[in-house]
Structure 1
Amino acid sequence: MAHHASALKQIRHSARGRLRNKSHRSGLKTEVKGFRQKLDSKDVDGARKELSSTLSLIDHKAALGIIHKNTASRYKSRLTKALNKATAAK
């Protein structure tokens, strides 16, 4: 445990940031999960409409530093591929 005042303050600061990041990451996971559920339920049109908002949210979280930009690109690529695959199967 830290003893210096500045170190204690840094611990408090890190804890607040960790909670904020956790909230952002949870919202992102929820959005992606909703998109995948639409694909799984064969609602391709609904998934296509939701894709743009999901990709926009992924970009926003990458800009905030919640996820790395390469991770964001990977998510976007995989979601787009999944939609294209579902569209082709339809």
Structure 2
Amino acid sequence: MPNIKSAIKRVKTISTRTLRNAAAKSALRTAVKKFEVAIAANDANSAALLKQANRALDKAVTKGLVHKNTAARKKSRLTKKFNQANLSA
């Protein structure tokens, strides 16, 4: 544990930010997983879930959780899965 007042504050700040970032990242992964499960089950709701997943990725970029290129790659892959599922259906 640090002795300097500013260092003590940084430890507290970092711990709260870590919890917030972990929760946001978990929500992001949940949104992506819901979409992938819906695609696998040929769910009719997959278009809405794709929109939610893309939105979650965009929010993660603005909050600094994910790099913008990583988000773009994931969005591209999710859209590709969606298009292939609709093409075969």
TM-score of the pair, normalised by structure 1: 0.89
- Residues 31-89 of structure 1, C-alpha deviation per residue, up to 9 Å, x if partnerless? 1111011001012x311222112212211121111211111111101100111111122
What is the distance in 1 between the residues matched to 2:42 and 2:19? 35
Specify the alignment match of 1:4 in structure 2: 4
Structure 2 stretches of 5 or more lacking a match? none
What is the distance in 1 between the residues matched to 2:48 and 2:3? 53
What is the distance in 2 between the residues matched to 1:37 and 1:12? 38
Specify the alignment match of 1:69 in structure 2: 68
- CA drift at 1:27: 0.7
What is the distance in 1 between the residues matched to 2:32 and 2:52? 10
Structure 1 stretches of 5 or more lacking a match? none
What is the distance in 2 between the residues matched to 1:48 and 1:82? 11
- CA drift at 1:22: 0.5
Alpha-carbon RMSD across the aligned residues, in angstroms, is: 1.2
Q: Report matched runs for 1:47-86 at 5 Å.
A: 47-86=46-85
What is the distance in 1 between the residues matched to 2:17 and 2:4? 20
TM-score of the pair, normalised by structure 2: 0.90
Amino acid across the alignment from 2:9 = K
SS of 1:7's partner is helix
Amino acid across the alignment from 1:2 = P
- CA drift at 1:23: 0.6
Specify the alignment match of 1:21 in structure 2: 21
